[in-house]
Amino acid sequence: MERSAQRLGRALVVIVDDRAAHGENEDTAGPLMTELLEEAGFIVDGTVVVHADTVAIRNALNTAVIGGADLVITVGGTGVSPRDVTPDATAGVLDRPIPGIGEALRSSGLAAGAVDAGISRGLVGVSGSTLVVNLAGSRSAVRDGMATLSGLVPFVIGELSGLEEAQA
């Protein structure tokens, strides 16, 4: 195992895409997200593809938190259409929101030309000791999102790890 992977921890990717969940389209965001997370030093436990359904999304997030993931990133379902329910599902899982990171993702996404990132309702916050991040579904939103998160996520995970050690 790489030293950076040991330091940053475990991640899980949740893809919110009705067509991919039905097998109609191939999931291309999951492999990209996994590659970017591994490059950043995470061990990726896997990718879960779910329907744009509040209960399915919430179940995937709760499973990641209970499973001890340090980071869970959702991709997709953050926009303004009636099927975009990822932020609504995420809100029910978060213990503490971190709105500044969500704003940074929207700002950098819009500046990079990822319109879906700019209008995203995506949330970022902490559930237990897991950092939860909602990203918009386009490949450019995923790439830009990871570029924005690269300097922030290690700090937040370090803070969460420090809290666990202080409580022990």
Does the structure show a pLDDT above 60 at 33?
Answer: yes
**For residues 22-41, average pLDDT:** 94
> What's the pTM?
0.92
Q: What is the pLDDT of residue 8?
A: 86
- What is the Cα–Cα distance from 157 to 104, expressed in whole angstroms? 17
Q: What is the pLDDT of residue 43?
A: 96
HSE-CB for 98 with a 13 A CA cutoff: 19
Does the structure show a pLDDT above 70 at 36?
Answer: yes
pLDDT digits (tens, 9 = 90+) for 104-125: 999 999 999 999 999 999 999 9
Q: What is the pLDDT of residue 166?
A: 47
Comparing CA positions, the residue from 120, 47, 113 lying closest to residue 78 is 120
Count of C-beta atoms within a 10 Å radius of residue 46: 12
**For residues 130-138, average pLDDT:** 98
- What is the Cα–Cα distance from 150 to 143, expressed in whole angstroms? 11
Q: What is the pLDDT of residue 29?
A: 94
The answer to whether residues 16 and 29 touch, using CB atoms and an 8 Å cutoff, is: no
Q: What is the pLDDT of residue 1?
A: 35
Q: State the pLDDT confidence band at 7, using cuts at 50, 70 and 90.
A: low
